[in-house]
Structure 1
Amino acid sequence: MAILLAACGDAGGSPAGGSVHRTVVLGRSVQGRPISAVELGNPHAARRVLVVGCVHGDEPAGVAVADALAAGPGPAHADLWVVPVLNPDGMAARTRGNAHGVDLNRNFPAGWRRIDAPGSAHYSGAAPLSEPESAAAARLVRRVRPTVAIWFHQHLTVVDSSQGPSDVQRRFARDVGLPLRALTVYPGSATGWENTVVGQSAFVVELPGGRLPAAAVRRYADAVRRITGS
């Protein structure tokens, strides 16, 4: 937590009203891999956008979109935070859960309940935020308080309209060419928790299966940039 708070300050940043483009270490995974975020744009802007590329290690397509955003340019009128990989151990092992076998999207406090047992694909962990990865994401959300947050998953090929800002969801779905459909809200989900903390800001985008072609990566990144106003 100290690393996040120190890096989020003005040290190494920009003068008031200026832009930033910096990498922040949010914490480390179960196996010690760094969990990093890139902040770019205007850190003083009222509009704060969060993008998370990979929550489940076997659903990595959003990482390419996150990397494209992190490469810049930063938005002039928004503070953009990009977390390419929240679950680096799972991505390295190509598993849904983290190195403890916990489904991070069942490990957040809102509506949390014990689901399944260790070894299950949807194991919710021993307690809310029991995992270093979900705890790091929760610290970031509480610190930044995003006005819009997009959490990428796979493989349903849909923008989830079950929660979050409906106007942003409709625009994003139109811009990327995905249908808009309400999905099940599961206990302990990241977006369900975020929406109880900062209001209806967060929603899920379920990408198609497989690796995104370069043109699709550009399309999704451009859709996020339009949300930031850049």
Structure 2
Amino acid sequence: MVPLGRSVAGRPISAVELGNPRAGRRVLVVGCVHGDEPAGTAVADALAAGPGPAHADLWVVRSLNPDGMAAGTRGNAHGVDLNRNFPAGWRRIDAPGSVHYSGAKPLSEPESVYAARLVRRVRPTVGIWFHQHLAAVDGSEGPKEVERRFAADVGLPLRALTDHPGSATGWENTVARDSAFVVELPAGRLSPEAVRRYTEAVRRITGP
């Protein structure tokens, strides 16, 4: 367990590192960014339970937004949409109280800062950020062949979704070029079978 910091309300945020720290393939998985889209945490939990990959350095963040998860809200405890709070393309969106409020400035939120530090530390070759509820793999940015294979493995369509200003994946792709993409899970909880399917799809990315 690697502590990253604490949320606005003081909840711990951490990462789990598995596999081979010296591997050239570095994979980052973030289970939850919006607190009302928590299904990816089940995949993150399954990955964190191991086994670690032999040929990759795998980093797993269960939730970047534990306060939002506890409250069932999209934003963090400041009401900021963390997926509009990163530097790449950031612009002020809406006002406090809006579900898409971008914050007062890029990286104004501690949770975004922790994620940015981790991305700079790991420099992922692949970054998978789970969201809901569009049931698609976003092919608008990131590693195209990995996206196609992941979509086929999990049985979701590959679609070019909207690139939002200040998004985590958009910013990661400026730090680690063409590494990050979004997986939009279906609404609701994932079944145990679905958790296994998504977990195995990630593990195939970490394979030789």
Using the size of structure 1 for normalisation, the TM-score is 0.90
The one-letter amino acid of 2:185's match is L
Post-superposition CA distance 1:62-94 (Å, at most 9, x none):
000000000000000000000011000000000
Deviation at 1:198, TM superposition (A): 1.1
Post-superposition CA distance 1:7-62 (Å, at most 9, x none):
xxxxxxxxxxxxxxxx0011110001010100000000000000000000000000
Q: Tell me which residue corresponds to 1:5.
A: none
Structure 2, unpaired ranges of 5+: none
> 1:43-122 to 2 correspondence within 5 Å?
43-122=21-100
Q: Tell me which residue corresponds to 1:16.
A: none
Aligned match for 1:199, one of 177, 182, 203: 177
2:128 is equivalent to residue 150 of structure 1? yes
The one-letter amino acid of 2:154's match is V
The one-letter amino acid of 1:199's match is R
Deviation at 1:154, TM superposition (A): 0.1
- Please give the secondary structure, in 1, of the residue aligned with 2:147: helix
- Please give the secondary structure, in 1, of the residue aligned with 2:130: strand
CA distance in 1, matches of 2:203, 2:176: 21
> 1:122-141 to 2 correspondence within 5 Å?
122-141=100-119
The one-letter amino acid of 2:198's match is Y
2:20 is equivalent to residue 42 of structure 1? yes
Post-superposition CA distance 1:111-170 (Å, at most 9, x none):
000000000000000100000000000000000000000000000000000000000000
- Please give the secondary structure, in 2, of the residue aligned with 1:51: strand
- Please give the secondary structure, in 1, of the residue aligned with 2:17: strand
- Please give the secondary structure, in 2, of the residue aligned with 1:167: helix
Q: Tell me which residue corresponds to 2:166.
A: 188
CA distance in 2, matches of 1:37, 1:198: 19
Q: Tell me which residue corresponds to 1:33.
A: 11
Q: CA RMSD in A?
A: 0.6
Q: Tell me which residue corresponds to 1:217.
A: 195
Paired-residue identity, %? 84
Rg comparison, structure with higher value: 1
- Please give the secondary structure, in 2, of the residue aligned with 1:54: coil
The one-letter amino acid of 1:123's match is Y
Question: Structure 1 segments of 4 or more deviating over 6 A?
Answer: none
CA distance in 2, matches of 1:34, 1:158: 30
Using the size of structure 2 for normalisation, the TM-score is 0.99
Post-superposition CA distance 1:158-209 (Å, at most 9, x none):
0000000000000000000000000000000000000011100000000000
CA distance in 1, matches of 2:129, 2:164: 14
